Amino acid sequence: MRYESQRIAWWFFATSMLLLCLQIVYGFIMGFAHMGYDVLHDVIPFHVARATHTNLLVVWLLCGFMGSAYYIVPEEVGRELYSVRLAKWQLGTLVFVGVVALVGFHFQWWEGRKFLEIPRPLDWLVVVNVLAFLWNLTMTMWKSPRMTTTSCVLYFGLLMAALLYLPGMIPTDNQTVDSYWRWWVVHLWVEGVWELIMGGILAYLLIKLTGVDREVIEKWLYVIVGLTFLSGILGTGHHYYYIGAPRYWLMIGGIFSALEPLAFLGMAIYAIAMARRGGRSHPNRNALAWTIGCSIMSFVGAGFLGFAHTLPQVNLYTHGTLVTAMHGHMAFWGAYAMLVFAIIAYALPQLTGRKLYDTPLAAFAFWTSNIGMVAMTLAFAVAGVAQVYLERRMGLDFLAVQEEIEVHFLGLVLAAALFAVGIGAYVLQFWRYGLPVGEVERAAVTGDAEGPAPDAAAAEAGA
């Protein structure tokens, strides 16, 4: 840790972990409901649990991204954060809005639009909050002595994510138009600008953990950004197939979304190649495992399993089934959850001054959560394929099919239990690291390992 203000990131990370635990609780509520044990139905009906589960996911990931930005940007641009007070205020208000929204869901105060359930007045508060966050980053970068590609890509991703929240607020009473705009947020986030955030954070981690020259890592970052935009923007069409939008989307969506896995494949090859190339072996192998793991699992979940249902001929049958949930879990886990886990695994030793990365608990958390998530994905896949055949091919009633596939949710809950144990281990590890009391100077002997990173040396020489 080079700057005092980077400490604020810890509070975002801690909030993020807390919300993740809550998300998992709601996951279990739904898992049991799917098994036929919908015992909480009167208090937390399925749709409430679902909205809470997915919104918690989005909020804990955003908290993780914000923490990452507050951690990475000062170090990249070479100065303290513009305002730590603003960052604290921003976290406090974000949590406040989140809590109000979640409680509201339980009292049926919601919009009923998947992933964008937060009621309109709260949307505006989110906008103000994110503006404060961006202002803090903008001023930090504006007043800084240098810019790096990594920080610019990360910043651009966060800025575009904020702007793309707005189309989701366009009022309409037409279902098709509403869907059309909703995908501008949901799709263009996860298959567009969040990929830039991912690229930026991965680049930062690779620079720190592999010791490969910044120029090399950043050069390939451009290629990945290019691939992402080339495929992801028009790839939005894979959500416009049979919703009342013009037919040409079948062709456009099919072709461009089929290219999307290339960006994720690129990211995986990039991370693996840099790790192999790096001669310097950084002591924090656990952070490297999460980094490389993220690049690989995102290809599996987003690229491979996304491709599995992206062609219109397939999506006609799989749309809105548990096949979607199969892909949704692995994609979010691989690309974004593991990304947040990677940056936390890297940052904690620096923030707290403790080196707990080489412990059995750290390795256990990595493997157990990943094996658990692979098993969960398989359970969703089996349930989803069975659902597609029974409901869409044989024409059975939706609820009759849900009863038929209850048995597969026993598998899901068992896999989820394994996953939850892994997450529990990670959170325990987080707890063991303790508060962010690490000395700024002490950073030299912890994370950045044996001597300053080559990029830092170069920047300092050039400054």
Instruction: List residues binding Fe ion (CB under 5 A).
Output: 187, 191
Instruction: Using the rule CB under 6 A, give the single segment among 120-128, 318-326, 346-354, 434-442 that binds ligand HEM.
Output: 318-326
Q: Does 105 bind ligand HEM (CB under 6 A)?
A: no
CA–CA separation, 50 and 30 (whole Å)? 7
Of 362, 416, 453, 456, the residue at the interface with ligand HEM (CB under 6 A) is 416
Place of tokens 């809005």: 97
Q: Does 302 bind ligand HEM (CB under 6 A)?
A: yes
- Answer with the entry of ligand HEM, Fe ion, none that 114 interacts with (C-beta below 5 to 8 A by kind): ligand HEM
At closest approach, how far in Å is the CB of 280 from ligand HEM? 30
For residue 46, CA distances in Å to 28, 37, 43, 273 come to: 11, 11, 10, 44
Residue number with CB closer to ligand HEM (8 or 322): 322
**241 in Cβ contact with 315 (< 8 Å):** yes
Q: Does 324 bind ligand HEM (CB under 6 A)?
A: yes
Q: Supply the DSSP string of 332-359, one letter for each residue.
A: IIIIIIHHHHHHHHHHHHHHHS---TTS
Instruction: Using the rule CB under 6 A, give the single segment among 93-101, 319-327, 439-447, 450-458 that binds ligand HEM.
Output: 319-327
Q: Does 115 bind ligand HEM (CB under 6 A)?
A: yes
- Among candidate residues 273, 457, 461, 439, the one with its CA nearest the CA of residue 349: 439
In this structure, what DSSP letter does residue 309 have? T
- Answer with the entry of Fe ion, ligand HEM, none that 209 interacts with (C-beta below 5 to 8 A by kind): none
Q: Supply the DSSP string of 386-430, one letter for each residue.
A: HHIIIIIIS---HHHHHHHGGGHHHHHHHHHHHHHHHHHHHHHHH
How many residues sit close enough to ligand HEM to count as binding (CB under 6 A)? 44
At closest approach, how far in Å is the CB of 125 from ligand HEM? 23
Residue number with CB closer to Fe ion (333 or 366): 333
- Among candidate residues 305, 330, 321, 329, the one with its CA nearest the CA of residue 389: 321
Of 63, 186, 250, 375, the residue at the interface with ligand HEM (CB under 6 A) is 186
- Answer with the entry of ligand HEM, Fe ion, none that 202 interacts with (C-beta below 5 to 8 A by kind): none
Q: Does 293 bind ligand HEM (CB under 6 A)?
A: no
Residue number with CB closer to ligand HEM (286 or 310): 310
- Which pair of tokens denotes residue 120? 């309109």
**327 in Cβ contact with 309 (< 8 Å):** yes
Q: Give 202's contacts (C-beta < 8 A, 6+ positions apart).
A: 267, 270, 271, 291, 294, 295, 339, 342
Q: Give 347's contacts (C-beta < 8 A, 6+ positions apart).
A: 6, 9, 10, 13, 71, 447
Residue number with CB closer to Fe ion (76 or 191): 191
- Among candidate residues 330, 336, 225, 345, the one with its CA nearest the CA of residue 290: 345
**338 in Cβ contact with 297 (< 8 Å):** yes
- Among candidate residues 92, 95, 100, the one with its CA nearest the CA of residue 121: 100
- Answer with the entry of Fe ion, ligand HEM, none that 58 interacts with (C-beta below 5 to 8 A by kind): none
At closest approach, how far in Å is the CB of 263 from ligand HEM? 8
Residue number with CB closer to Fe ion (239 or 282): 239
At closest approach, how far in Å is the CB of 183 from ligand HEM? 8
Q: Does 337 bind ligand HEM (CB under 6 A)?
A: yes
- Which pair of tokens denotes residue 422? 């892994």
Place of tokens 């810890």: 10
- Residues 8-27: x where in contact with ligand HEM by CB under 6 A, - otherwise, as a string: ----------------x--x
Task: Return residues touching ligand HEM (CB under 6 A).
Answer: 24, 27-28, 30-31, 34, 50, 53-54, 57, 114-115, 186, 190-191, 238-239, 257, 260-261, 298, 302-303, 306-307, 309-310, 315, 319-320, 322, 324-325, 327-329, 331-333, 335, 337, 416, 419-420
